Structure 1
Amino acid sequence: MSKVANRMPLIDALKAVAAMLVLLHHFSSYGPLAAAAREAMPAAADWLFDYGRMAVQIFLVIAGFLAARGLSGEGQALSVSPLPLIWKRYLRLAIPYLAAIGLAIMAATIANQWLDDEAVPARATLGQWLAHAVLLHGILGVDSLSAGVWYVAIDFQLFALMALLLWAGRRHVIAPALVLATALASLFWFNRDASWDNWAIYFFGSYGLGAAAWWASGRRQMSTWLAVIACVAIAALVVDFRLRIALALAVALLLGFSRRNGLLETWPTARPLAFLGQISYSIFLVHFPILLLANGLYSRFEFESPLSGLVALMLSVFASILGATLFYRWIESPAASQRITNALSWLSGNLWVLARHTRRLARRAVLGAETP
């Protein structure tokens, strides 16, 4: 089956919209460009600042939907060890993520020469980089090196938690029940306490809604199961209304109904949305380094008018999409990621052989020196 046939246009479209909203949220939040945008279009800038970040819920629901599809398509338990799957997920996320962190560090170093703004991260330390590399920067309270990278750590935690729950169940019914029970705990308790927002359990309600939508859409009484999901989520909203959970519920129901009636694989047919959806992770990763450079240049040339800010903002958005396209081709795409993984494996293997050879030579040298 071809790559095109494997893609789901509706999911690509949702990811495209979500990625652009997150991008515009950050562009309306940081630096002099954000101030210029707010002066030129105050209502739009305020809306993006207040609500653009909620587009992350779309990614959370889609991630749960696809995780259920890949790990437990029929609601079955995970029969193999989850550790290789978790490691594979880490590599899938971390290779482009660490490359983007490198870009962010370089962009911050350059922008810091032109721009005195809190949006520019301080000079990175080795400990800070290591905390990001192992996806523990949020839990450890380490300052972020790029905007939005907290989501990468949360995505990894969510996948690992779901894989472990499906493996712990070990039975056809118990495995998805554990996932859904954890989602309920998140919706009714943990998601209501922001002190948990560096942990997967805080977001597992939205992730679980996506998984539940996948499982429900494969049942004979799909409408009944989706109605149950809706009633549970609405009950959680009655207890404590959160717009982000309402959005997550809407996306989950859309995915569930669309899978059953075939829209998931056939609509929409707009190629720009399909393209932006395909490179959405790259957009998510590289737009902040470009934002830093754009703000630095804007400040360096001392532009001040709202019109100049608006033009610079539009050019920055275009540059972000262009940068994401190149980043996807060279770093994130499956072929590029495989090349990088193979190169790292070859390098680590040769370094290990070199280390063993060096240790053997050193041992011989010591024994030779001790021989009278």
Structure 2
Amino acid sequence: MKAVAGMVAGVDQAARAQFGWINLLKAGAAQLIVLHHLAFYGPMSDYVQPLWPDLLAWLGSNARIAVQVFLVIGGFLVAKSLSPAGRPGIVSPMQAVWRRYAKLAPPFLAATLLAAIITPVAGIWMTHDSMSGAVTLGQLSAHALLLHGVLGYESLSAGAWYVAIDFQLYMLTVLLLWLGGRLAGKRRLGWLMPLAVTLGILFSLLYFNLDAGWDNWAPYFFGSYGLGLMAWWASDPARKPGAMTMLMAMAAVPVLLALAVDYRSRIALALVTACALFLFGRARTPSHGRAWNVINALGRISYAVFLVHFPVSLLVNALFTSYMPLEPEWQALGMLAAWGASLAAGAAFYRWVEVPLGRAVQSLMGRAGARVVSA
């Protein structure tokens, strides 16, 4: 942990207070996702099974629902960015969508290319059903457009689906805000967007989320994402306590109804996360202190870890199962090594790929905007 914090500390030395509780949720969820994939995909975990059967069974089956934390946080932060007060309307919707794509896609594509390179390298030592086949140009193009799931292409990395869904959910939110603005016109309909999102949560959880055939599309996940939107609006300190309570009730009632119809632990976790964000999501925490330094560092690199951990884990799997004894203790050491290597690779990717790419894209967008203004 100290090593990861040290690697990232040089990237962002901002002394201002941060949303530490959000970073804590992101950091914890990211670790569970890494451990889930290590337990689920093997082959190291196959050899470790006799040593930690219950733990690996839980990680392999249940830990994946930690992605709900990212979905709720995503909605929470998008509400903060696009509509802090929950009012309808949005300025330049297409520009907002483009900015989101420019933020998500470049590091995602870089990580996809990394996976495309590392997978065949790991294949030199290992054959396993978790490894994707030979990469095609169409497959890479679909990943670059964030359409791989929709078009039926095999994902090159275990977390690739989430990036595409995040982008879809963002576009859906922009669309709702734009339609709300068109409907409201010059009227200040402060209830319109919370009502629209509440209906979206209801339809998502009672229809789309009950059919796995929709799991490549945003409506399947909007129930969790919408809870994040509502948690930001409900936690607005400018609102009266009664209005806060009403907004959280509007979000919670559809979820409780959906859980009564068909209980899903992932949706229950999304509701708990939304409640935590409602209570603590806006709270600022110190940016100094050893514990918060580690938490904030892990929170900052969580997207990078999410992107690169799978190919790194594949490579460690291949090396350990080829060159180390196939005994539970040795392969357990390999799983821990893969976990640590994923964190280190995520920190390096954040510092030397994600941040520079973000700066380059912002610079290009700024120049393009300046040309448009001057024209």
TM-score by length of 1: 0.87
* CA distance in 1: counterparts of 2:231 and 2:366, whole angstroms: 38
In the TM superposition, residue 31 of structure 1 has moved relative to its aligned partner by 2.7
After TM superposition, list the pairs within 5 Å mapping 1:1-372 onto structure 2. 3-5=14-16, 7-170=18-181, 171=184, 172-173=189-190, 174-218=192-236, 219-220=239-240, 221=242, 222-259=244-281, 264-266=283-285, 270-301=292-323, 303-333=325-355, 335-339=356-360, 342=363
In the TM superposition, residue 80 of structure 1 has moved relative to its aligned partner by 1.5
What residue is the counterpart of 1:369 in the other structure?
A: none
* CA distance in 2: counterparts of 1:194 and 1:95, whole angstroms: 29
Q: Is the 8 A contact 2:201 2:251 kept in 1?
A: no
* CA distance in 2: counterparts of 1:104 and 1:117, whole angstroms: 15
* CA distance in 2: counterparts of 1:307 and 1:239, whole angstroms: 44
1:250-282 CA distances to partner (integer Å, 9 max, x unpaired)? 0001111224xx6x3228953212111110000
In the TM superposition, residue 34 of structure 1 has moved relative to its aligned partner by 1.7
Unmatched 5+ stretches in structure 2: 1-12, 368-375
* CA distance in 2: counterparts of 1:47 and 1:194, whole angstroms: 22
RMSD (Å), alpha carbons: 2.0
Q: Is the 8 A contact 2:26 2:302 kept in 1?
A: yes
SS at match of 1:265: coil
* CA distance in 1: counterparts of 2:366 and 2:228, whole angstroms: 34
**Which structure would you say has the larger RCO, counting Cα contacts within 8 Å and 6 or more residues apart?**
2
* CA distance in 2: counterparts of 1:158 and 1:209, whole angstroms: 12
Worse-superposed segment, 188-197 or 55-64: 188-197
Distance 1:343 1:211, change over 3 A: closer
* CA distance in 2: counterparts of 1:252 and 1:267, whole angstroms: 22
Q: Is the 8 A contact 2:321 2:331 kept in 1?
A: no
Distance 1:83 1:3, change over 3 A: farther
* CA distance in 1: counterparts of 2:170 and 2:16, whole angstroms: 25
Unmatched 5+ stretches in structure 1: 347-372
Identity %: 44
* CA distance in 2: counterparts of 1:340 and 1:72, whole angstroms: 24
Q: Is the 8 A contact 1:186 1:203 kept in 2?
A: yes
AA at the equivalent of 1:288 = F
Worse-superposed segment, 26-35 or 13-22: 26-35
AA at the equivalent of 1:317 = W
Q: Is the 8 A contact 2:41 2:130 kept in 1?
A: yes
SS at match of 2:91: coil
* CA distance in 1: counterparts of 2:168 and 2:357, whole angstroms: 24
SS at match of 1:40: coil
Worse-superposed segment, 227-236 or 64-73: 227-236
* CA distance in 2: counterparts of 1:83 and 1:106, whole angstroms: 34
TM-score by length of 2: 0.86
* CA distance in 1: counterparts of 2:92 and 2:275, whole angstroms: 31
What residue is the counterpart of 2:373 in the other structure?
A: none
In the TM superposition, residue 225 of structure 1 has moved relative to its aligned partner by 3.1
* CA distance in 2: counterparts of 1:82 and 1:130, whole angstroms: 24
Distance 1:311 1:344, change over 3 A: farther
* CA distance in 2: counterparts of 1:148 and 1:208, whole angstroms: 21
Say how many residue pairs are matched. Answer: 341
In the TM superposition, residue 184 of structure 1 has moved relative to its aligned partner by 1.7
1:150-209 CA distances to partner (integer Å, 9 max, x unpaired)? 000000000010011101111334334323322221022111111100000000000001
* CA distance in 2: counterparts of 1:4 and 1:249, whole angstroms: 32
In the TM superposition, residue 342 of structure 1 has moved relative to its aligned partner by 4.5
In the TM superposition, residue 298 of structure 1 has moved relative to its aligned partner by 1.7
Distance 1:118 1:252, change over 3 A: same
AA at the equivalent of 1:93 = L
In the TM superposition, residue 4 of structure 1 has moved relative to its aligned partner by 4.9
* CA distance in 2: counterparts of 1:302 and 1:309, whole angstroms: 8
1:21-80 CA distances to partner (integer Å, 9 max, x unpaired)? 000000001132121232321111100011111000000000001111111100112331
Q: Is the 8 A contact 1:179 1:208 kept in 2?
A: yes
* CA distance in 1: counterparts of 2:132 and 2:200, whole angstroms: 35
* CA distance in 1: counterparts of 2:314 and 2:195, whole angstroms: 45
Distance 1:12 1:189, change over 3 A: same
What residue is the counterpart of 1:365 in the other structure?
A: none
Distance 1:4 1:40, change over 3 A: farther
AA at the equivalent of 2:230 = A
What residue is the counterpart of 1:368 in the other structure?
A: none
What residue is the counterpart of 1:358 in the other structure?
A: none
AA at the equivalent of 2:307 = L
AA at the equivalent of 1:12 = N
What residue is the counterpart of 2:4 in the other structure?
A: none
